[in-house]
Structure 1
């Protein structure tokens, strides 16, 4: 997402505008707090987090993918990575968009290998972590971390 935004110049616009950066930062912080509170509250209810008729974010039907996508999109630090690191690997004599696309493919490939590794580790440890007690503890810890990160993001200057 940030590679696309960088290729069309939106990341540079957000990073150069204090107001736009503040809006993205506040939205990201609020979203982290919401995720933290929801995660914390889900620990009491067990596995079932949502009930019929309960208000949900528009991207909630996308599950973990949607939450990860929006957490990344609303993270101004992710945009700054593409603004500070990517230019070092670009050649000014060639079109920018294909170069950024190539770097994005490399980035996604590295992250994919990393996440597949951790998926394998977690799958192997499933018998340990597939208990209600472990899930409650993990949900509470994750909720507390997300709330603290959201508050820290909103409070950052």
Structure 2
């Protein structure tokens, strides 16, 4: 049985000052699994069950990387990405989707997102990408703007 991931329900600061990954998905089982995978890989992470809760967390403390599902009610992954890009253009965004994307849509997403993963995601490839985007303990410059190619 999967342990419960902390679901963000307030705008209280989460996770101290350590860089963290913000995981966003309205599907609770997927969110719990992704939380376990990311945490198991050694990354600090916070989960949000909606785009609106993700925005609240970003207003409190900016994440190092945001991983979001595409299809969510109200504020979907695309709208969340536009909001994040407007306010924090250097924050890497990773998109996960179960939808079949045509080439024009995929090309559009690649201009907005650092990486796009089709569900079920290739965990090895996903974690490799995440590892490249997260700073190591010895390299925590707050002005870090390097965004490695995860395509």
Task: Give the TM-score normalised by structure 2.
Answer: 0.28
Name the larger-Rg structure: 1
Q: Of Structure 1 and Structure 2, which has the larger fraction of its residues in helix?
A: 1
Task: Give the TM-score normalised by structure 1.
Answer: 0.28
